[in-house]
Amino acid sequence: MANKYFSRYLSVAPFSLSLWRAMEAQKIAEALNKVSKISTKNEILQLPKPALDLGCGFGEFAGVFFDRQVEVGIDISIEDLVKAKKVNKHKNLFIADARKLPFPDNTFSTIISVSVLEHIQRVQLALKEAFRVLKPGGLFILTIPTEELNNNLFYPEIFRKIGWKQARSFYLQKYHKVFKHVNILPPKSWQSMLTKCGFNIIYYQGTFSRALTQIFDITLISALPSQISRWLFGDRWIWGLSIKERILSRLFDRLLREDKQTESNVLIIAKK
C-alpha cells in the first residue's frame, strides 16, 4: 500500500516536491506519536487545538497532512491565501507577517511551520512571536532545511569531486535563489535561537537520507512543466497519477525505511 502522504502529494505536486514534503509529513506524524502520545489510529492525526499553520501558503501541506480543518492559517501572500481558501483546510485565514502576528499572547496550543522559516529575514523575530502566541505547554513543530543541505545535493557533490569549485558555488547560489532561501544556517543555530527565545526542545531529528536529498535534486528538472503551468494558470499540471503512484511509491517506501538520516532538513518539536 502506498504511503498516504506520498499518494496525496502526487495528486497535487510533481514528484520531487512530493518526495520532500511527504517525508516531512511522515516524520512529523511519527515524532508526535513518540513524544506527545498523539494517536494516529485510523490514520487520523489530532493536534491540540487551537492550532496555527504558520506560513500556510496555498494550503498544500495542510490539505495533505491534516484530516480536519486547522483553526488558523497565516501567510504574507494574499494570492496564496486565496488559493488556500479553496483547499478549505483552515477555518480562518489571515494575511500576516510571522514577525508580527495579529494574535494575543497565549492563543494557540499548537503551531506548525513546515519549510517556512528559511524564507524569513530577521527570523529571530518570528521565533519570538511564535513563543508569545503559544500557550504554556504548547507545541511548536517546525521543519527547516539547513546548511548541511549543501553537502548532500547531487550536483554540487559531483562538482566537488571533479574539483569544479566555481560550478559548485554557482549551482548552490542559484538553487537557494530559486527557492527564495534567506536562512540556510547550521543545524545548531536553529536550536540555539529557539532556546534563547525560551523554548524547550523536546525532539530533534534529521528527516532526509542522503539518497532522498540527491534524488530530489536530480528530479527537480521534471517539476518544471508543473511549475510553469502554476505561473501561467495558477494551478500545477499533474499527469499520469496512477502510473506514477504504482512505480514511485515503491521508491518512497524504500527511502522511508532508510535509518541513516542527514541534517539536510531537520524536524524540531519545542515546548513553551
Is 65 in contact with 25 (CB distance < 8 Å)? yes
Is 86 in contact with 234 (CB distance < 8 Å)? no
pLDDT in tens, 112-133: 999 999 999 999 999 999 999 9
Mean pLDDT (the chain) is 87
Count of structural domains within the chain: 1
Q: Quick one: how far is CA 55 from the chain centroid?
A: 10
pLDDT in tens, 166-197: 999 999 999 999 999 999 999 999 999 999 99
28 assigned to some structural domain? yes
160 assigned to some structural domain? no
174 assigned to some structural domain? no
171 assigned to some structural domain? no
Q: Is pLDDT of 42 > 50?
A: no
Where do the H-state alpha helices sit in the chain? 4-10, 15-35, 60-65, 78-87, 123-133, 154-161, 165-178, 187-196, 210-219, 224-233, 241-256
176 assigned to some structural domain? no
Extract the C-alpha cell encoding 11.
495528486
Averaged pLDDT for residues 19-27: 92
47 assigned to some structural domain? yes
pLDDT in tens, 65-96: 998 899 999 999 999 999 999 999 999 999 99
CA distance 187 to 206: 9
161 assigned to some structural domain? no
- Find the CATH number of the domain harbouring 73: 3.40.50.150
83 assigned to some structural domain? yes
Residue 67 corresponds to which amino acid?
Answer: D
Domain around 261: 4-149+183-271
pLDDT of residue 36: 66
- The reported pTM is 0.88
CA distance 56 to 43: 22
